[in-house]
Structure 1
Amino acid sequence: MVLKFNVIAAVCEGGGIGANGTLPWKLKNEMAYFTKMTSKLPPGTEGKRNVVIMGRKTWDSIPLKYRPLQNRINVVISSTMESNDNSKDVMVFRSLSSALSALEMPPYSDFCADVWLIGGAALYTESLELPSCHRLYITKILKKFDCDTFFPPIPNRFTTIKVEDVPEEKQTENGIDYEYKVYEAASSP
């Protein structure tokens, strides 16, 4: 069985997702949406936990007091970071493909529910090319920010869909307008 996964990102006009190793905007409600979406368990997965996959720079950008992200298994893709055997909440893999392969097999598949890829730019680019990339949950920030890290163009195989627990109306916070969009791959395995 091929493990389907979702991508989640906040993207400003011009495709920016980060600046100097951090988010260039402060949107508390959008961050709560990220937490809700990546933590909420699908029906029938009681006793399991969702997985968030990220690159080392994304891991480093999370303030220490929030690391690892609570109630989720944190998977870090890194060729330099060592695994911490004392933490059941953090796993380190050398590549996205090795992480996805491991997560679809026991023992990992026994306790993993939904899988979310949360950044950064290189992993977003790699993930959008994989047939197992099922959905993209994109917060479109309707303002341009000065960024040095960018989200790749969304491939044509993804089309916009409506999802029950994703608000359709425009959001405004700290004078910044944004909206939630969900894209689904036409031919997910």
Structure 2
Amino acid sequence: MLKKEMAYFSRVTKRVPGASSMPDTSMLAETSSQLSDSSEVAATANIQPPQNVVVMGRKTWESIPPKFRPLPQRTNVVISRSEKLEGVGEDVVVGDSISSALSALVAKVKEGQAAPLGRVFVIGGGAIYKQALEMEQAKSILLTRVEGEWDCDTDFPIDVEAEQGWTRRHKADLDEFAGEDVQEAQEEEVKGDKVRYEFRLYERV
């Protein structure tokens, strides 16, 4: 585990940009009427502070140690075809697709059963990344580029460097998105091996 990377992930996914302004609902609906509903919800129905949303597949959910889930200070959404998931409480939204789960979440916000919505982060695994990248609402990729060859259980579905339609942004853009001065180049020692990696931001063009 890359401890500094995990700390960065935690900070960025918890930090709601412009929390006093209207939440970003761009990933929350597929029709203009749904977007209108979600904006009305954020403005009138809920006095809780907004929270970002983390969307993950069942395997990603189950890979999180029980004592750490749901991920705190974020609204957790799990994508699964199964209705029976271990350790899922009423505060976790479950759906069989990203779109259906986010629609259910918008309904919960409207009923005052969930916090107003900040950014939506899709955090894995591979099939969920692929599903998200096929949605036109997906505008940004926060990527950790690890140097060298390592055994991994999940591959990102596209080579974002080679893929047309995405461009890497400058550090100033990454800082603005993350809400902090990001040290892009990182190095950690994991089980005696030095691991070098870099934080990057890509945006759809």
SS in 1 for 2:174: coil
Runs (4+) off by over 6 Å: none
Pairing 1:113–2:88 present = no
Letter in 1 for 2:187: T
Partner of 1:54: 56
SS in 2 for 1:32: helix
Structure (1/2) with the larger helix percentage: 2
Pairing 1:41–2:20 present = no
Q: Aligned-pair distance for 1:81? A: 3.3
Aligned length: 161
State the distance in 2 between where 1:111 and 1:91 align. 14
In the superposition, relative to structure 1, how do residues 168 and 117 fare at CA in structure 2: closer, same or farther (>3 Å)?
same
State the distance in 1 between where 2:153 and 2:174 align. 31
Pairing 1:184–2:203 present = yes
In the superposition, relative to structure 1, how do residues 110 and 34 fare at CA in structure 2: closer, same or farther (>3 Å)?
closer
State the distance in 1 between where 2:49 and 2:138 align. 24
Aligned residue among 56, 75, 79 for 1:77: 79
Partner of 2:38: none
Q: Aligned-pair distance for 1:88? A: 4.5
The 8 Å contact of residues 51 and 75 in structure 1, kept in 2 or not, is answered as yes
Q: Aligned-pair distance for 1:42? A: 1.0
Q: Aligned-pair distance for 1:104? A: 4.8
State the distance in 2 between where 1:55 and 1:130 align. 16
State the distance in 1 between where 2:127 and 2:184 align. 30
Larger RCO (alpha carbons 8 Å, 6+ apart): 1
TM-score w.r.t. the length of structure 2 is: 0.70
Percent sequence identity over aligned pairs: 41
State the distance in 2 between where 1:58 and 1:75 align. 11
Partner of 1:160: 168
Q: Aligned-pair distance for 1:99? A: 1.8
In the superposition, relative to structure 1, how do residues 166 and 103 fare at CA in structure 2: closer, same or farther (>3 Å)?
farther
In the superposition, relative to structure 1, how do residues 102 and 166 fare at CA in structure 2: closer, same or farther (>3 Å)?
farther
State the distance in 2 between where 1:91 and 1:101 align. 10
State the distance in 2 between where 1:169 and 1:182 align. 10
RMSD of aligned alpha carbons? 2.4
Letter in 1 for 2:62: D
Larger radius of gyration: 2
In the superposition, relative to structure 1, how do residues 134 and 166 fare at CA in structure 2: closer, same or farther (>3 Å)?
farther
State the distance in 1 between where 2:136 and 2:156 align. 18
In the superposition, relative to structure 1, how do residues 109 and 69 fare at CA in structure 2: closer, same or farther (>3 Å)?
closer
In the superposition, relative to structure 1, how do residues 110 and 69 fare at CA in structure 2: closer, same or farther (>3 Å)?
closer
Letter in 1 for 2:5: E
Partner of 2:143: 138
TM-score w.r.t. the length of structure 1 is: 0.76
**Quick check: 159-168 or 138-147, which moved more?**
159-168
What are structure 1's unaligned runs of at least 5 residues?
1-25
Q: Aligned-pair distance for 1:131? A: 0.5
